[in-house]
Amino acid sequence: MNKVLLLLLLFLYFSAVNSEIYKTIDEDGNVIFTDKKPSIESEEIEVNEVQKIKASKSSSLSEIENTNVEKEKDNTNTKIAISLLDHYKKMKPSLDKSDWHIHDPSRVINANSSQIISVTGKAQEDGYKCGLETWRRTDPNSNWEPHECLFIDKPKWISKTVPTNDGAFWAPEFIDKNRILYSVASNFDDGGPSCTALAVAKKVEEEIIWEDSGAPLTCTTGTPAKTEGGEIEVEAIDPAYIFSPDGKAYLITGGGLIHGTEVNPQTFQPLSGNWFSLDDPSWKTLARGPKARNDEEGIGDGYEWVEAPYVYYNNNYYYLFVNWGACCRGVDSDYNIRVGRSKKPLGPFYDKEGINMADGGGSLVLESEGAKRGPGHAGIWTNKKGRDILGLHYYDARRDGISLHDERKIVWKNNWPTIKK
Q: Report which of 352, 170, 363, 134 is spatially closest to residue 253, judged by C-alpha positions.
A: 170
| Residue-level pLDDT at 156 | 85
Residue pair 183/194 in contact by the 8 Å Cβ criterion: yes
107/258 Cα distance (integer angstroms): 19
289/232 Cα distance (integer angstroms): 12
CA atoms lying within 13 Å on the CB side of residue 203: 14
| Residue-level pLDDT at 243 | 97
**Taking the model in full, what pTM does it have?**
0.80
| Residue-level pLDDT at 111 | 83
Q: What is the pLDDT of residues 403-418, one digit of tens each?
A: 999 999 999 999 999 9
173/379 Cα distance (integer angstroms): 9
Assign a CATH topology to domain 51-419: Tachylectin-2; Chain A (2.115.10)
Task: Work out the burial of residue 118: count CB atoms within 10 Å of its CB; fewer than 13 is exposed, 13-18 middle, 19 or more buried.
Answer: buried
CA dihedral 388, 389, 391, 394 (to 10 degrees): 130
Residue ranges of the chain that CATH labels 2.115.10.20: 51-419
Residue 279, helix vs strand vs coil: coil
Residues of the chain with pLDDT below 70 are 1-81, 123-128, 188-190, 204-207, 295-297
| Residue-level pLDDT at 128 | 64
| Residue-level pLDDT at 221 | 84
